[in-house]
Structure 1
Amino acid sequence: MKVEIWSDIVCPWCAIGKHRFEKALAQFAHREEVEVSWHSFELDPSAPREREGDLAEHLAGKYGVSREQADGMHRQMTETAASDGWDFHFERARGGNTFDAHRLLHLAAERGVQDTLKERLFRGYLEEGERIGDPETLVRLAADAGLDADEARAVLASDRYADDVRADERQAQAYGITGVPFFVVDRKYGVSGAQPPDAILHVLDTAWADAHPLQMLTPGGGDGAEGCVDGSCTI
């Protein structure tokens, strides 16, 4: 079974959705046969490499609310995230462009550490105040996740994986994805948002049953042996 997840590094609901998905996957009977891949989605492709001002100020301006209301939204989100294993610190967050981070995630996929890097980037941005658009910061975080620092630096100095990021974004458009996180299971089932683990588990079970329907076999080619049906038996 394949699970593809579209998300952005600067999306707190994407981080929450990652941990909720992991909780669901841990309960899934066929978890060892699930292949998970992360796909690129930029919430703000026009963002500068590093945005001026703090995140609450940006949030207030974007949604036309007061600074106090923006701070309240962050407090509520922080409380929600805590139950899913996150320690958000929006007062530290330094917003910026995530295109290069997504390029490194494609490199990480080839090196078998994509999920590890995704987690490290989320923690770097949402918990530690790392500059998510700064190349040297990204190289350091990539090395933390197990990538070779020189290779990561070389990728960022080139245009490698740029086409892969754009291909992900075109696929998101084709699916009609307008918000993240967004989960696609076996290219057939779509799940939008950071759903509770039980809801995600239900989708995984449904997709598995659909891909592995029960086949009735009658040994010897007969019509079947005697049995009990609907409370009555052939005796």
Structure 2
Amino acid sequence: MEQSEDRTATVEFVLDVICAASYIAYVRLERAIERVRADGGKVEVVFRPFQLAPDAAFDGEPLLEVLTGMFGKHVVAETQQAAADAVKDGVTLDYGRAVAADTFEAHRLIQSAASRGLGEAAVERLFRAHFTDGLNIADPATLQRLAAEIGVDANDAPADRLRADLARVRAGGIRSVPQISFDGGRALAGTQSETTYAKALQTAAA
């Protein structure tokens, strides 16, 4: 499909970085975006914050223990299946290593990075830190190290603005993630195939 040289497709991605479905959706979306950009297309990704457990006071507890306590023992088999499926996308979901974490400060880092043109790098690194590296992404020192890795000198996004953004997303009726919309169009809920994202991008970039 032919693309306008001046046309920029805008993708709005509502996510939480402790959401495995959001991680898989992000990986597939990024591959589709890379293909558009390789063909000379322009894509801007805008990240919107969502917290799966906004009232939880997680402090680095083993994730599987937390999930089992919340949902029951069947969650262990479900996470094992999710991890096996994720391998097909080149993603490692190491639930045995992951720790539960509040994501408010992680979302602040995403907004801080986005203001420097590094939003996509921040999201990818936070997903990998949580699901693959077993890092506590609520820990300030850990976030500082991750910020330095991606080239962000300070986690300085205003907390009040983030709280307002979280409230705005909730007020918009979003109760689960991921949700991805293209140029303000209808949102694709849940994890879709790379082909689905590519077709939506091609339409938006045309």
TM-score (normalizing by structure 1): 0.77
Task: After TM superposition, give the deviation of residue 49 of structure 1 in Å.
Answer: 4.6
Which of 139, 147, 156 is the matching residue for 2:152? 147
Task: After TM superposition, give the deviation of residue 170 of structure 1 in Å.
Answer: 3.0
The alpha-carbon distance between structure 1 residues 167 and 184, as it changes in their structure 2 partners (threshold 3 A), is farther
String of CA shifts for 1:75-133, please: whole Å, max 9, x gaps.
11111111112112111111111101111111101111111111111111100110111
Aligned equivalent of 1:15: 23
Q: Which amino acid aligns with 1:37?
A: V
Q: Secondary structure at 1:187's aligned position in 2?
A: coil
Larger Rg, first or second structure (1 or 2):
1
String of CA shifts for 1:191-231, please: whole Å, max 9, x gaps.
1111001111222233445xxxxxxxxxxxxxxxxxxxxxx
Structure 2 residues without counterparts, runs of 5 or longer: 1-8
Q: Which has the higher contact order (CA 8 A, sep 6+)?
A: 2
Q: Secondary structure at 1:183's aligned position in 2?
A: strand
Task: After TM superposition, give the deviation of residue 18 of structure 1 in Å.
Answer: 0.5
Q: Does 1:34 align with 2:43?
A: yes
Which of 168, 172, 175 is the matching residue for 1:171? 168
Q: Is the 8 A contact 2:36 2:42 kept in 1?
A: no
Alignment identity in percent? 36
Aligned equivalent of 2:5: none
Q: Secondary structure at 2:115's aligned position in 1?
A: helix
Q: Does 1:103 align with 2:108?
A: yes
Counterparts of 1:104-143 in structure 2, within 5 Å, are 104-143=109-148
How far apart, in 1, do the equivalents of 2:90 and 2:165 lie? 28
Structure 1 residues without counterparts, runs of 5 or longer: 210-235
Q: Provide runs of 4+ in structure 1 moved above 4 Å.
A: none
Which of 59, 67, 72 is the matching residue for 1:50? 59
Q: Which amino acid aligns with 1:114?
A: G
Q: Is the 8 A contact 2:42 2:205 kept in 1?
A: no
Q: Does 1:60 align with 2:65?
A: no
Task: After TM superposition, give the deviation of residue 34 of structure 1 in Å.
Answer: 1.4
Aligned equivalent of 2:82: 77
How far apart, in 2, do the equivalents of 1:24 and 1:205 lie? 9
